[in-house]
A = this chain, B = another copy of it.
Amino acid sequence: MKNLPLYILRSPPRSLLRLPLPVASAFLSHLSYFITISLLGFGALKLTKTRNSSSPNDLNIFFTSVSAVSVSSMSVIEMEVFSNFQLLIITTLMFLGGEVFVSTVGFQLSRRFKYLNEKNQVDSARSIEMESGTSSSSTATIDELSSSKSCSKLLDRMMIGYLLTTNGVGSCLIFIYIITIPHAKQVLESKGINFLTFSIFSTVSTFTNCGFIPTNENMIAFKNNPGLLLILISQVLLGGCLYPVGLRLAIMAAAKVTGKKEWRYILKNYSEMGYSHLLSGLRCGFLAVTAMGLIILQLIIFCSLEWNNSAGIWDGLNPYQKFVGSLFQVTNSRHAGESVVDISAISPATLVVFVVMMYLPPYTTFLPIRNKEIASMSHGKDKRQHLVELFTFSQLSYLAIFIILICITEKEKLRDDPLNFTVLNITLEVISAYGNVGFSSGYSCKRQVKVDSSCKDAWYGFAGRWSAKGKFILILVMIFGRMKSFSMHSGRAWKLS
């Protein structure tokens, strides 16, 4: 017990706070960004008219706004309620909340901030140097700052180019698909959805891995359009778990085409660029292998368990369409959360697989090699634990707490409606919100044990049937999930063995 007070005494408050400060400010700026955009989105959706002019209640609108900004696509309102203009608002929210956009803006701001404060930083670095007596790190930082400035600018342009190209090409492809394939055209015409709005909305939603689709039944309406599904699958991957791979490939292509030495510098000194999505070639390789491995694994499990699904999720599809549909479904389970099948008609074993996959963060990598970068990182971190870290729990503990809280807020329904309100469905919803996925078991009046004659089936998620408290907790879970990169390493003070 001797070490605790000593540890605290040895570290005066200022030096304790100095190290975590950048992390804390990044955390707060991200949090305030997401909340501000959500509130603006709420205002915009509230002030504009819905299609049938019956406005949903405020909590549900706020929920939808947070769901779009946190790219979760958890839903408590049917999508066809929204007018064309509102769909464009949601498109904007999803675009502003998407990780590629947020990280690009963050990179730009930190670049400008660096430039403006370069002198300040040099001074402060020197003062730290004098205080602590270490000199190597700070001088090196200053050198790198000046040498990589032009590279930062190029990288910044590449990120913007990547973002606009993928979204532009995607929207065009979907638009062309719709006007050429009669079935897709008919679906949209019958629902009165603007073709162009649909193309842009779906592309942005899929690239950001949000997963909203302007139709009530999400992609189920397009389950026999394998071409459309394949376009969306590529968007899911390029904007989601394979973004670092796509970015690196784009830089490699630029290096080859233009021959500029800056591109090669960027590729080589990826960690000095200060962009967290720019990973080493090795890590990108393993990331791609892991992502593909998880998709293939899921595809095998999904096909073997659901190929002959008796609940009719595949009605009227030929084997090729079933295969593409399965591929689409399992690709979406990691992050995007679009769906060609009714999740509640899937067997529990598959649902548990989905829960696991939704929990895995996008850049989960099987990385059997400790390269220098990681070793040195963990080394530096091990030396000292911040006080803040000491009182945090692991991700899973927080999720367990959220699940327990929702089991408490929905206590009566768990008892009276035990086939809809199962702990599995609540877990699926919470992990789906945490993973910013958007899968939901939904709710079915048929499954009620005590039949309520006023019950009406609807095309929104299970959370739509929850109490206001439960929905509010889920809003917190979505924001917590969107910020998970900041809490990934929490809970270290707990020793499980």
Residues of A within 8 A of B (CB): 1-4, 7, 281-282, 285, 301, 305, 347-349, 351-353, 355-356, 360-361, 363-371, 374-375, 378-379, 382, 385, 390, 396-397, 400, 403-405, 407-408, 411, 414-415, 418-419, 422-424, 485, 488-489, 493-497
Question: Which of B281, B374, B405, B494 interacts with A366 by CB under 8 Å?
Answer: B494
The answer to whether A7 touches B369 (Cβ under 8 A) is yes
Starting from the known contacts A348-B407, A364-B494, 4 additional A-B residue pairs (CB-CB under 8 Å) come to A349-B407, A352-B403, A485-B497, A488-B497
**Chain B neighbourhood of A285, CB < 8 A:** 1
Asked whether A351 and B423 contact (CB < 8 A) given A281-B1, A369-B7, the answer is yes
In the complex, what residue of chain B is closest to A351 when comparing beta carbons? B423
The answer to whether B369 touches A3 (Cβ under 8 A) is yes
Question: Which of B1, B351, B374, B379 interacts with A282 by CB under 8 Å?
Answer: B1
Asked whether A371 and B282 contact (CB < 8 A) given A424-B423, A488-B496, the answer is no
Bound CA span A400–B363, Å: 20
Bound CA span A460–B356, Å: 30
**Chain B neighbourhood of A367, CB < 8 A:** 493-495
Bound CA span A371–B495, Å: 12
Q: How far is the CB of A165 from chain B (nearest CB, A)?
A: 27
Q: How far is the CB of A377 from chain B (nearest CB, A)?
A: 11
The answer to whether B368 touches A408 (Cβ under 8 A) is no
In the complex, what residue of chain B is closest to A395 when comparing beta carbons? B496
**Chain B neighbourhood of A493, CB < 8 A:** 366-368
Bound CA span A39–B495, Å: 34
Bound CA span A96–B460, Å: 55
Q: Is the interface of A mostly helix, strand, loop or mixed?
A: helix
Bound CA span A360–B489, Å: 19
**Chain B neighbourhood of A7, CB < 8 A:** 369
The 15 sampled A-B contact pairs (Cβ below 8 Å) are A4-B368, A348-B414, A349-B405, A352-B403, A356-B397, A356-B400, A361-B497, A363-B497, A364-B495, A364-B496, A365-B495, A374-B495, A379-B382, A396-B396, A422-B424
In the complex, what residue of chain B is closest to A289 when comparing beta carbons? B1
Interface centre among A4, A396, A422, A496 (most CB of B within 10 A): A496
Copies in the complex: 2
Q: How far is the CB of A53 from chain B (nearest CB, A)?
A: 40
Q: How far is the CB of A436 from chain B (nearest CB, A)?
A: 15
In the complex, what residue of chain B is closest to A411 when comparing beta carbons? B347
**Chain B neighbourhood of A400, CB < 8 A:** 352, 355-356
The answer to whether B3 touches A408 (Cβ under 8 A) is no
In the complex, what residue of chain B is closest to A400 when comparing beta carbons? B356
Bound CA span A407–B306, Å: 13
Closest 9 pairs between A and B when the two form their complex, measured CB to CB: A349-B407, A423-B424, A488-B497, A368-B390, A368-B493, A348-B407, A365-B495, A3-B369, A367-B495
Question: Which of B365, B375, B385 interacts with A494 by CB under 8 Å?
Answer: B365
Bound CA span A59–B196, Å: 63
The answer to whether B423 touches A352 (Cβ under 8 A) is yes
Bound CA span A168–B491, Å: 40
**Chain B neighbourhood of A374, CB < 8 A:** 495
**Chain B neighbourhood of A485, CB < 8 A:** 497
The answer to whether B494 touches A369 (Cβ under 8 A) is no
The answer to whether A347 touches B407 (Cβ under 8 A) is yes
**Chain B neighbourhood of A356, CB < 8 A:** 397, 400
Bound CA span A301–B351, Å: 29
Bound CA span A482–B489, Å: 28
**Chain B neighbourhood of A423, CB < 8 A:** 348, 351-352, 422-424
The answer to whether B404 touches A353 (Cβ under 8 A) is yes
Bound CA span A369–B384, Å: 9
Bound CA span A300–B482, Å: 31
Asked whether A4 and B495 contact (CB < 8 A) given A349-B404, A352-B404, A400-B352, the answer is no
Bound CA span A165–B306, Å: 57
